[in-house]
């Protein structure tokens, strides 16, 4: 019996192998050839959607601890970490993660580049589309490639520049391309932008796909990055050592900074002169109006795409698919999200950030105005509550008045204690001062009778679902004393569930271009009078949109402050600190600060006071200068020279 089976098996195997001899010549059924794919409009759309979808856009689904497109092919739960948590913009109420990105953007980047190179190689050979369509597709290819190399260069410095798809012919060593210098890498990115700009012509294709204007915006941003590397990667800012430095694979000679700043100025100026873009509601009548405009704009950017528009390039999402995002789940206040499977309240803007705004003194100096907490004006004390200290009293029903008179954007981005979310009053309170003045509670739930005979609680209410701050359980409650409003769906609440958020991400907007221009002019060595004038107008028009009425001077401090407050939470801040090479100096054993509202029962009616603190459980953080360049993965196999 067994022998018969074996024989049958042998025959079967032999016949199978006989049928397979031409296996290498068979066209695989699970692949589509480029000709077939690009034969139809739908095929082109599908391939371009694929490439755009994989583009390393630092959007709502980018997380420094997980990478790009979280939720696509992996778990959507990234613990609610965003780039803001890895900078001075925010702290996280549950975890202390910080530092350089925790993932490598290397293989994904080169896979995408390979597919883009294949596109660029295929398009000219296509028979069934006209030359104009070919030019547009190629231009998009150059844009996508520039964007991808930009993502590599800002992480790794000089990288191998691969301009056409590699072919494997049995010699593995031919596939190993050494690193180009950092200068060559940036030059290549800017040249790809130029190729894209040339290829597109003036036809509009935006804002969800690239056109000339999107390519110019990318060039503006990339040139500014390259210029900053050239200018600030030297003493006294920071310097590195090792073979990668000796061979120019990281760092650019200072003398090249000028060229890059000029390229940024030229690209930004082209956008500014195009007449197609402008700030949304550029001249509000009052700060209140400015705050509402700014908030609405980020809440629903898709509604502001007609006519002269601010968004230049946006990324949209689809609800209840892996292509949705989760900002509304992660960052709504605890009181708005009661589902035990969701984890709200994870974005806690820092007091450092809140203190970085101007008020409306508008005396032309642009100086920042930290919040007022004490009658003696000593705003440098982070020792916590003290019974002897004289604090400024804010009304029990309106503690948010502490933000009164501050820059409109602050109120548009930050939820202050006692403000309403849709129609719910959000309670953020971390302490309670006893009515007889004999003591206080701080971050332990307790109750106390006020002078009006009512019962008051440390966190502002008896139950954990009725307040949104400071309770150390669950990590649902803010530790900094602030919550987050930018981008959030407050006016039209969406279902509180995973993957429901679809507000578009603005990747490039006119406001950034204005500030790029201003920064390039400030940093270059001898700008012309006209450039100075335009840059000052650009800087002040961004402020004007926030209802400021004066003209502040064009200098490094003012430009950097304006970028901080205008572009906050748009995932730009970390890279600003990186390219200015100020990250390691501003984060040296630094604790990001918080502000605790205490309900003070010593008066009748009770009143709120605010106490500056080092938030409990928030560790001191250091940014190591060696993190400016990430380690290249797999150097023992790919033979690349490692970064410092």
Partner 1 sequence: MKSNVTFYSLIVCSLLGASCQKDNLDGPNATFYGELRDRKTGELIPQEVSDGSRVYYIEQGWANPPVQNTVIKSDGTFKNGMMFSGDYKIIMDRGNYVPLDTLDMNIHKGENFKVFEVNPYLRILEPEIVKKDRSIIATFKLEQVTSNQVYRISLFAHAHTDVSNKLNIVNKTLDLNRSITDGETFQLSINLDEYSSTLVAGNSYYFRIGAQSQGNETKYNYAASVKIDL
Where does this chain bind partner 1 (CB under 8 A)? 235-236, 239-241, 381-384, 386, 588-589, 622, 624-625, 635-637, 639, 642
Give the Cα separation of 70 and 326 in Å (integer): 10
Nearer to partner 1, 241 or 438 (CB): 241
Which residue lies nearer to partner 1 by CB, 35 or 624? 624
- Minimum distance, C-beta of residue 244 to partner 1, in the bound complex (Å): 11
Contact of 174 with 195, CB cutoff 8 Å: no
Closest to partner 1 by CB, 143 vs 623, is: 623
Both tokens assigned to 394: 């804010």
**From CA 305, how far away is CA 588, in angstroms rounded?**
42
Cβ closest to partner 1, residue 577 vs residue 613: 613
Q: Whole-number minimum distance, CB 408 to partner 1, in Å?
A: 34
Please list the alpha-helical segments (H only) found in 201-313.
212-232, 243-246, 257-273, 287-299
- Residue 474, C-beta contacts closer than 8 angstroms, at least 6 positions apart: 464
**Given the complex with partner 1, which of 87 and 233 has the nearer CB atom?**
233
Residue 114: which of 28, 207, 51 has the closest Cα?
51
Q: What is the 3-state secondary structure (H, E, C) of 512-527?
A: HHHHHHHHHHHHCCCC
Sign of CA dihedral 635, 636, 640, 641: positive
Q: How many residues does the chain have?
A: 644
Q: Which is nearer to partner 1, 124 or 639 (CB)?
A: 639
Q: Which residue has the tokens 């997380």?
A: 63
Residue 143 CA to residue 206 CA, distance in Å, equals 13
Half-sphere exposure of 63 (CA within 13 A, CB side): 21
Q: How far is the CB of 450 from partner 1 (least distance, A)?
A: 26
Q: Quick one: which of 226, 225, 143, 148 has its CA closest to 184? A: 226
Residue 175 CB, nearest approach to partner 1 (Å): 15
* Residue with smaller CB distance to partner 1, 95 or 240: 240
Min separation Cβ 237 and partner 1, Å: 11
Nearest one of 191, 49, 35, 186 to 118, comparing CA atoms: 35
Smallest distance from the beta carbon of 458 to partner 1, in angstroms?
18
**In whole angstroms, how close is the CB of 635 to partner 1 at the nearest point?**
6
Provide the Cα torsion 23, 26, 31, 33; round to 10°: 150
- Tell me, what DSSP letter sits at residue 25? G
Of 204 and 588, nearer to partner 1 (C-beta) is: 588
**Which CB sits closer to partner 1, 86 or 317?**
86
Question: Least Å distance between CB 636 and partner 1?
Answer: 5
Return the bridge partners of 273, or none: none
* Contact in structure between 120 and 48 (CB atoms under 8 Å): no
Nearer to partner 1, 120 or 229 (CB): 229
Q: Which is nearer to partner 1, 81 or 623 (CB)?
A: 623
Determine the Cα–Cα distance for residues 625 and 613; give it in Å rounded to an integer: 28
How far apart CA 543 and CA 294 sit, in angstroms, is 12
Least CB distance from residue 239 to partner 1, whole Å?
Answer: 5
CB of 639 to partner 1, least distance (A): 5
The single residue listed with the structure tokens 């503006």 is 220
Tell me if 325 sits within 8 A of 317, measured CB to CB: yes
C-beta of 482: minimal distance to partner 1 in Å? 21
């Amino acid at each position: 019996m067994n022998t018969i089976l074996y024989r049958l098996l042998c025959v079967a195997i032999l016949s199978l192998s006989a049928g397979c001899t031409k296996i290498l010549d068979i066209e695989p059924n699970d692949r589509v050839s480029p000709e077939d794919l690009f034969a139809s409009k739908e095929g082109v759309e599908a391939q371009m959607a694929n490439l755009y979808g994989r583009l390393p856009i630092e959007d709502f689904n980018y997380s420094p601890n997980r990478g790009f497109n979280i939720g696509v092919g992996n778990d959507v739960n990234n613990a609610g970490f965003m780039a803001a948590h890895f900078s001075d913009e925010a702290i996280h109420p549950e975890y202390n993660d910080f530092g350089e990105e925790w993932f490598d953007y290397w293989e994904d980047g080169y896979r995408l580049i390979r597919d883009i190179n294949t596109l660029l190689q295929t398009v000219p050979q296509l028979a069934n589309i006209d030359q104009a369509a070919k030019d547009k597709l190629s231009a998009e290819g150059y844009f996508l490639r520039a964007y991808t190399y930009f993502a590599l260069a800002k992480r790794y410095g000089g990288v191998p520049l691969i301009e056409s798809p590699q072919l494997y012919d049995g010699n593995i060593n031919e596939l190993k391309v050494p690193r180009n210098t950092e200068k060559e890498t940036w030059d290549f990115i800017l040249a790809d932008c130029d190729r894209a700009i040339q290829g597109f012509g003036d036809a509009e294709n935006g804002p969800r796909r690239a056109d000339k204007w999107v390519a110019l915006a990318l060039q503006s941003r990339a040139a500014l990055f390259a210029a900053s590397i050239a200018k600030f990667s030297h003493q006294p800012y920071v310097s590195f050592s090792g073979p990668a430095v000796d061979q120019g694979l990281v760092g650019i000679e200072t003398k090249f900074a000028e060229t890059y700043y000029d390229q940024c100025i030229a690209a930004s100026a082209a956008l500014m002169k195009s007449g197609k873009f402008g700030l949304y509601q550029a001249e509000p009548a009052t700060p209140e109006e400015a705050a509402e405009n700014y908030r609405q704009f980020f809440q629903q950017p898709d509604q502001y795409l007609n006519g002269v528009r601010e968004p230049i390039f946006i990324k949209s999402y689809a609800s209840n698919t892996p292509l949705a995002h989760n900002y509304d789940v992660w960052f709504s206040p605890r009181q708005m999200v009661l589902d035990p499977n969701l984890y709200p309240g994870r974005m806690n803007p820092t007091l450092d950030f809140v203190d970085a705004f101007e008020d409306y003194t508008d005396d032309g100096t642009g100086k920042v105005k930290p919040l007022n907490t004490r009658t003696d004006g000593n705003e440098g004390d982070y020792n916590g509550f003290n019974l002897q200290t004289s604090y400024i009293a804010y009304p029990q029903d309106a503690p948010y008045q502490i933000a009164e008179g501050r820059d409109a954007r602050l109120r548009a981005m930050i939820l202050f204690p006692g403000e309403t979310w849709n129609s719910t009053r959000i309670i953020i309170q971390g302490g309670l001062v006893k009515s007889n003045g004999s003591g206080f509670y701080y971050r332990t739930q307790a109750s106390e009778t006020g002078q009006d005979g009512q019962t008051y609680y440390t966190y502002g209410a008896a139950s954990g679902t009725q307040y949104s701050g400071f309770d150390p359980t669950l990590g649902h409650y803010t530790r900094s004393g602030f919550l987050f409003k930018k981008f959030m769906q407050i006016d039209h609440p969406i279902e509180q569930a995973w993957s429901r958020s679809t507000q578009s991400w603005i990747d490039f907007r006119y406001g950034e271009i204005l500030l790029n221009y201003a920064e390039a002019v400030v940093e270059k060595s001898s700008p012309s009078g006209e450039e100075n004038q335009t840059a000052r107008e650009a800087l002040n028009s961004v402020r004007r949109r926030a209802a400021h009425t004066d003209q502040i001077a064009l200098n490094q401090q003012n430009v950097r402050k304006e970028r901080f407050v205008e572009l906050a939470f748009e995932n730009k801040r970390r890279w600003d600190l990186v390219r200015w090479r100020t990250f390691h100096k501003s984060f040296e054993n630094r604790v990001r600060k918080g502000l605790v509202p205490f309900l003070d029962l010593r008066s009748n009616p009770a009143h709120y006071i605010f106490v500056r603190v080092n938030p409990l459980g928030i560790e001191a953080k250091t940014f190591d200068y060696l993190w400016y360049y990430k380690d290249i993965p797999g150097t023992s196999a790919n033979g690349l020279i490692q970064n410092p």
